[in-house]
C-alpha cells in the first residue's frame, strides 16, 4: 500500500511496503534541476549532485563509498531539468546504513575547495564523454534550439567555461535557496518497518529552512531546422514537435501515442524504418513532459546518404497516424504493452522507489498502478487522433541533424515537402 506522510518540516515522505522483498530502496528527491539555474551558474545542480559524494564533516568520499559497498549496497544520483535524486539500495537489515549515509551527505557535505577543484576535472571529462556520444549530444542540440534563450533548453551538465567560475560560495548559496523542505520528497520502497524509518528520518522532520519559490518562466518553443557538423560515421537525426506539460489531461493519450509510434520492436517506426526498409539500427520516439511544457521527438541514426529517406519515413509514419488514427484492436494492444512495462518495472524496489518519487515531484500525488491503467484504458481512438492532430502540425515540426554530411535539400524544404 502506498502511504504519504507530511513530516513536521514539510518534507513529503512517500512509501510502499513490499514485505516479500529482501531489499529496500531509499531516494531523496529535490524539485531542483537545470531549469532553475541562473545563466552564469549553468550546470550547478548537476555539480552539486557530484559534490554530495565528496565528503562530509565526518566521512571522506572514500568512506561514503566503502560504507555502502561493505553491505553490498548501491549508492548513486542523477540530475534532470526539474529534479535531482540521491538514492541507495540495500538489504532490508541495512536500511539504517543507507539512510544515515544519505542524510549525512544531504545535510553535512563539506564542499572542500580541494574536492571542488578535483571534481571540476571529473565533470569536464563527463562533458567530453557526452560530446563524444552523438545520440546524447544531438538531444542537447535539439532542446537548446527549440527552447533557445530559456534555462530549460540548456545542457544539464553546463559547460567548461561556466564550471571554471563556480565557487564554494555559489554552491552553498544555491543549496540554501533551492534545497528547502517543501521541495524535498523522500521515497522508500521495499521491506522496512515504518516506526524505524520515521526514527531514521528525524533529521528531515526537524529540518527548518524558509521556503523560497523557484524563479522560472514558461518557455516558448521555437521551430528549428538545422544541420550540425561533426566528424562521425553516422548521421544522427531528431524530428519532433512541442508537446504537453506533465499534468495535462491528455498526457496519458500522448504516452500511448509515444508507445504506438516508437517504443519497442513492434512500434510503427521500428517496423517501417528498421525492419521493412533496413535504414537504421536504432529508431525510437521519446516524450519529455515538464511542469509547463513538453517535447515529443523521434531519434534515428543512419548512413549519411540515407538521411533524407529516413526523415521522409518518419514524417510519413507521423502523418499516417494523423490521418488514419488507430483502431480499437491496436489501441488495446498498445495499452497492454504499457501495462506490461509498468508492472515489470514494479518488480524492482528501485523501480518502485523511482515511480513514487517522480510521481510526487511531478504530480503532487502517487497514483496506484491500477489507477494509471484506468487512465490509459479510457483513452479512445478519437482521443488519439484529436491529440495527435493538435500537436503534429507542419509549422511546429523541428528537425536537427548531426554528422559529416549536410542534407540536401535543406531541412526546411524537406520538412515542408514531407508534412502536411
Residue 215: predicted pLDDT:
74
pLDDT digits (tens, 9 = 90+) for 124-135: 999 999 999 999
Burial of 104 (0-12, 13-18, 19+ CB in 10 A): buried
Residue 412 pLDDT exceeds 90: no
Whether the pLDDT of residue 83 is over 90: the answer is yes
Task: Select which of 16, 37, 49, 308 is catalytic.
Answer: 49
pLDDT of 349 over the 90 cut: yes
225-418 CATH: 3.30.830.10
β-pairing, 294-302 vs 280-289, is: antiparallel
Mean pLDDT of the 84-95 span: 98
Q: Count CA atoms closer than 13 A to 229's CA, side-chain side.
A: 2
pLDDT of 411 > 90? The answer is no
| The predicted structure's pLDDT at residue 404 | 87
User: Residue 414's pLDDT is what?
Assistant: 72
Does pLDDT of 257 surpass 80?
yes
Average pLDDT over residues 166-174: 96
Closest C-alpha among 213, 288, 230 to residue 254: 288
Q: Tell me the pLDDT band of 310, cut-offs 50, 70 and 90.
A: very high
Pick the CATH number of 2-205 from 3.20.20.70, 3.50.50.100, 3.40.1800.10, 3.30.830.10: 3.30.830.10
**pLDDT digits over 383-409, tens only?**
999 999 999 998 999 999 999 866 655
Phi-psi category of residue 139: left, alpha or beta, with phi > 0 → left and psi -120 to 50 → alpha: alpha
Of 311, 293, 313, nearest to 391 by C-alpha is: 293
Mean pLDDT over residues 57-69, rounded? 97
Say what the pLDDT of residue 210 is: 86
What is the structure's pLDDT at 211? 79
Same fold, 2-205 and 225-418: yes
202 is known as an active-site residue:
no
The residue extents of the domains of the chain are: 2-205, 225-418
pLDDT, one tens digit per residue, over 101-120 is 999 999 999 999 999 999 99
Amino acid at each position: 500500500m502506498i502511504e504519504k506522510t507530511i513530516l513536521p518540516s514539510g518534507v513529503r515522505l512517500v512509501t510502499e511496503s513490499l514485505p516479500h522483498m529482501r531489499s529496500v530502496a531509499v531516494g531523496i528527491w529535490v524539485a531542483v534541476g537545470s531549469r532553475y539555474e541562473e545563466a552564469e551558474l549553468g550546470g550547478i545542480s548537476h555539480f552539486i549532485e557530484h559534490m554530495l559524494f565528496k565528503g562530509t564533516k565526518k566521512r571522506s568520499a572514500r568512506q561514503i563509498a566503502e560504507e555502502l559497498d561493505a553491505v553490498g549496497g548501491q549508492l548513486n544520483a542523477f540530475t534532470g531539468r526539474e529534479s535531482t535524486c540521491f538514492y541507495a539500495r540495500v538489504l532490508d537489515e541495512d536500511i539504517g546504513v543507507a539512510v544515515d549515509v544519505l542524510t549525512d551527505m544531504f545535510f553535512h557535505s563539506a564542499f572542500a575547495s580541494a574536492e571542488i577543484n578535483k571534481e571540476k576535472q571529473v565533470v569536464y571529462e563527463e562533458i567530453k564523454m557526452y560530446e563524444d556520444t552523438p545520440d546524447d549530444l544531438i538531444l542537447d542540440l535539439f532542446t537548446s534550439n527549440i527552447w533557445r534563450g530559456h534555462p530549460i533548453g540548456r545542457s544539464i551538465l553546463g559547460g567548461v567555461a561556466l564550471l571554471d567560475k563556480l565557487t564554494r560560495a555559489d554552491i552553498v548559496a544555491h543549496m540554501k535557496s533551492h534545497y528547502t523542505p517543501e521541495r524535498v520528497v523522500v521515497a522508500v520502497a521495499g521491506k522496512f518497518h515504518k516506526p524505524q524509518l520515521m526514527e531514521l528520518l528525524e533529521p528531515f522532520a526537524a529540518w527548518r529552512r524558509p521556503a523560497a519559490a523557484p524563479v522560472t518562466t514558461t518557455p516558448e518553443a521555437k521551430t528549428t531546422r538545422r544541420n550540425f557538423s561533426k566528424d562521425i560515421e553516422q548521421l544522427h537525426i531528431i524530428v519532433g514537435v512541442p508537446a504537453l506539460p506533465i499534468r495535462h489531461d491528455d498526457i496519458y493519450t500522448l504516452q500511448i501515442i509515444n508507445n504506438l509510434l516508437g517504443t519497442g520492436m513492434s512500434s510503427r517506426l521500428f517496423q517501417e524504418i528498421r525492419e521493412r526498409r533496413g535504414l537504421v539500427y536504432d529508431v525510437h520516439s521519446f516524450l519529455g513532459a515538464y511542469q509547463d511544457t513538453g517535447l515529443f521527438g523521434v531519434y534515428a541514426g543512419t548512413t549519411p546518404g540515407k538521411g533524407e529517406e529516413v526523415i521522409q519515413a518518419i514524417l510519413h509514419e507521423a502523418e499516417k497516424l494523423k490521418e488514419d488514427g488507430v483502431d480499437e484492436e491496436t489501441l488495446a494492444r498498445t495499452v497492454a504493452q504499457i501495462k506490461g512495462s509498468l508492472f515489470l518495472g514494479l518488480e524492482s524496489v528501485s523501480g518502485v522507489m523511482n515511480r513514487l518519487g517522480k510521481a510526487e515531484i511531478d504530480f503532487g500525488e502517487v497514483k496506484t498502478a491500477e489507477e494509471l491503467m484506468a487512465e490509459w484504458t479510457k483513452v479512445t481512438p478519437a482521443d488519439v487522433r484529436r491529440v495527435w492532430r493538435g500537436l503534429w502540425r507542419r509549422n511546429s515540426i523541428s528537425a536537427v541533424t548531426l554528422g559529416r554530411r549536410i542534407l540536401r535539400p535543406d531541412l526546411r524544404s524537406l520538412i515542408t515537402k514531407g508534412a502536411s
